[in-house]
Amino acid sequence: MGTAHPAKFVQMTGAVDVDVAIVGYGPVGQALAAMLGKAGHRVAVFERWPNLYPLSRACVVDHEAMRTLQGIGAAEEFSSYTVPSKGEYIWLNAEGQVLYHFKYDPRGISGWPSRSLMYQPDLEQVLDRTATALPNVKVHMGWQVAGLRQTYDGYELTAQAGAADAGGLSRPSSQTQRVTARRVVGADGANSFVRQAMGIELVDLGFRADWLVVDFQLNDPAKVLDMPEAGQICDPARPVTVMRHLGLRHARWEMMLLPGEDPSAMTRPEAVWPLLERWVGPSDGVIERAAVYTFKSAIAQTWSKGAVSLAGDAAHLMPPFLGQGLCSGLRDALGLSWRLDLILRGIAGEDLLESYEVERKAHVAGVIDRAVALGRVVCITNPEEAARRDVAILGGQAPPLPLFPKLAAGLLGHSPGMDGVVGELSFQGRVSNGAHAGRFDDVVGKGWQILTLDEPLAPSLSDRQRSVLKRIGARMVAFGAAGEPVQDIDGDYRAYMDALGVRLLIIRPDFYVFGAAKAVSEGKFLIDQLEAGLKLVGESAAAADPIQ
Ligand SMILES: Cc1cc2nc3c(=O)[nH]c(=O)nc-3n(C[C@H](O)[C@H](O)[C@H](O)COP(=O)(O)OP(=O)(O)OC[C@H]3O[C@@H](n4cnc5c(N)ncnc54)[C@H](O)[C@@H]3O)c2cc1C
């Protein structure tokens, strides 16, 4: 393994080869490559395995993840491989009593189903097609990054061909290649080389449990199985997760290993079939994979160091009971990509990345808290302890579960009375502009969005403020204002903003509300806060061609 030497510079001549080098081509590295590639940057990705990983880990993504995929043009195709959830997640005890029944509006606020039940290889194939279609994205499969060192211009990565041969997947080779990059992102998973090479600690948050994960390919994908669409069976004799739809063709069971059980013995067919017999047998299909995973909770101490950042499982790990590991990784990719885009284009300073760590680390820590709290409910194999749990939950005596977090710190505006709105995920509805109708981000455009009701913001702004919005590519829509071509087809935007009690919303490229105001005229104060928060650099304030 190579090491990083942040303090020692290796002098390079000429410009770097690429703008961003991404280590790891799992779903997070794939999505990030597509985001940066679509923004016009030169991207090189290195993946140690010669082929995409053929088996599923994640089985559900949320509406926010789908809006993220929409932004790179991957959501429509991917959605054709998913099953929209009916919006229920049921937790039963051994006696079949309902401990928790999580219900959510199946429509989701981001313009996509609240939960999409999926098979991860389908997602990775769609993301791969999306990224590799871009001429400025070069994906190097079968190259393991083993060296990372700082240069005057950025970083030099050394990759070895065939280094993944230890796993039996590719032919060993002594070939190496080097690439220099202005920025590096470690999207290289739980055992991240980049994280270790940068000397970044992975802080263990204490959760650990071994579970057998069984993916089952059904002969008849429409077969009715006696189980909820998504659920947990909190039976101390064997806690089990059931997922009826893992995409279009599969079902998933996850079974906790009991104390003393041998993980390798538990993956053998003679051990797995008896565990499945309550639901399926050999005549119903095939066991595609049975593997034991150790579910853990952990978070990287630092998310960006110099020009190197972490994203996805390289930065955080959580047990899967909330279905949020990958969703959180996609949040990282989007939160990192819009910042890197501004930095690489010379619009924002390096210190914009400080808010990446502040925001994402706090948010994912809250997600991990909730996932771990759920894990502590289900991962009980002691019957007395399970009985006490059941009495407490059914009697309403159990401590409340941590709430799903919003963005509470970082690049957020402040205006009186708006704390409940700022940092929340925003709504995406259907709009039209002339003959073009569809989801807002497709019709109007993604990125910074400023929504107002009945009057536009632009006339109340200074030239300087309009210049700021132009530089960051903000899009403004004044629903209901004279001359506004964009129409709120279903009236949902007006209902949404009325319910929040706002006339103005400033929405970030990652869909979170930066700022809100009861009056459109207050928007100018928020634009000043935005300019300061974005650490804009270069170009003088009064642009000759301000936004209209
Ligand atoms: C059983 C289970 C169920 C889950 N269910 C859900 C769910 O329902 N919803 C959800 O959101 N999440 C879920 N998750 C979590 C989700 O699967 C992960 O968070 C997600 O796959 C992480 O993606 P990633 O791209 O960050 O990392 P990975 O998918 O691990 O990709 C990292 C890549 O980096 C490569 N790599 C590593 N080192 C190097 C190197 N030195 N050089 C080059 N390449 C390298 C690896 O080969 C790998 O391809 C689940 C996880 C498990 C285990």
* pLDDT tens by residue, 233-244: 999 999 999 999
Ligand 1 atom at minimum distance from 194 CA: 41
Of the pLDDT bands very low, low, confident and very high (cuts 50, 70, 90), residue 54 is very high
> Is 151 a member of any domain?
yes
Return the number of other C-beta atoms located less than 10 Å from residue 178's C-beta: 11
Ligand 1 atom at minimum distance from 314 CA: 26
**Same structural domain for residues 46 and 156?**
yes
Residue with the smallest CA separation from ligand 1 atom 30 is 189
> Is 58 a member of any domain?
yes
Of the pLDDT bands very low, low, confident and very high (cuts 50, 70, 90), residue 535 is confident
DSSP class of 465: H
How far is the centre of ligand 1, averaged over its atoms, from the C-alpha of 253 (Å)?
19
> Is 221 a member of any domain?
no
Predicted structure pTM score:
0.95
- What is the rounded distance in angstroms from the CA atom of residue 395 to the CA atom of residue 391? 6
How far is the centre of ligand 1, averaged over its atoms, from the C-alpha of 27 (Å)?
7
Q: Which of 311, 341, 375 is where one domain is finished?
A: 375
Q: State the average pLDDT for the chain.
A: 93
Ligand 1 atom at minimum distance from 60 CA: 8
For residue 6, the model assigns a pLDDT of: 37
**Same structural domain for residues 143 and 25?**
yes
How far is the centre of ligand 1, averaged over its atoms, from the C-alpha of 214 (Å)?
17
**Same structural domain for residues 40 and 157?**
yes
**Same structural domain for residues 366 and 461?**
no
**Same structural domain for residues 186 and 64?**
yes
> Is 276 a member of any domain?
no
How far is the centre of ligand 1, averaged over its atoms, from the C-alpha of 116 (Å)?
18
Return the number of other C-beta atoms located less than 10 Å from residue 505's C-beta: 26
Structurally, the chain folds into a number of domains equal to 2
Q: Which of 358, 375, 392 is where one domain is finished?
A: 375
Residue with the smallest CA separation from ligand 1 atom 5 is 58
- What is the rounded distance in angstroms from the CA atom of residue 491 to the CA atom of residue 38? 31
**Same structural domain for residues 368 and 437?**
no
Q: Which of 348, 375, 402 is where one domain is finished?
A: 375
Rounded average pLDDT over 491-504: 98
> Is 245 a member of any domain?
no
> Is 311 a member of any domain?
yes
Ligand 1 cavity residues, CB under 6 Å:
23-29, 46-49, 53, 57-61, 144-145, 187-189, 193, 213, 293, 312-313, 320, 323-327, 329
Rounded average pLDDT over 258-270: 97
**Same structural domain for residues 353 and 436?**
no
Mutate to test the pocket of ligand 1, among 326, 368, 404 (most ligand atoms within 8 A of CB): 326
The CATH number of the domain holding residue 482 is 3.40.30.120
Residue at 238: amino acid letter: R
User: Is 80 exceeded by the pLDDT of residue 169?
Assistant: no
User: Which residues form the domain of 156?
Assistant: 18-80+117-202+297-375
How far is the centre of ligand 1, averaged over its atoms, from the C-alpha of 336 (Å)?
18
Residue with the smallest CA separation from ligand 1 atom 27 is 189
Ligand 1 atom at minimum distance from 243 CA: 8
The rounded percent of the chain whose pLDDT value lies above 70 is 93
**CB contact set of 145 (below 8 Å; sequence gap of 6+):** 23, 46, 48, 157, 158, 159, 188, 193, 194
> Is 483 a member of any domain?
yes
For residue 548, the model assigns a pLDDT of: 36
Q: Are the CB atoms for 523 and 507 separated by under 8 Å?
A: no
> Is 271 a member of any domain?
no
Ligand 1 atom at minimum distance from 56 CA: 17
Q: Are the CB atoms for 26 and 48 separated by under 8 Å?
A: no
**Helical (H) or strand (E) element with 343:** helix 325-344
Rounded average pLDDT over 379-398: 98
The CATH number of the domain holding residue 27 is 3.50.50.60
- What is the rounded distance in angstroms from the CA atom of residue 239 to the CA atom of residue 381? 7
For residue 509, the model assigns a pLDDT of: 98
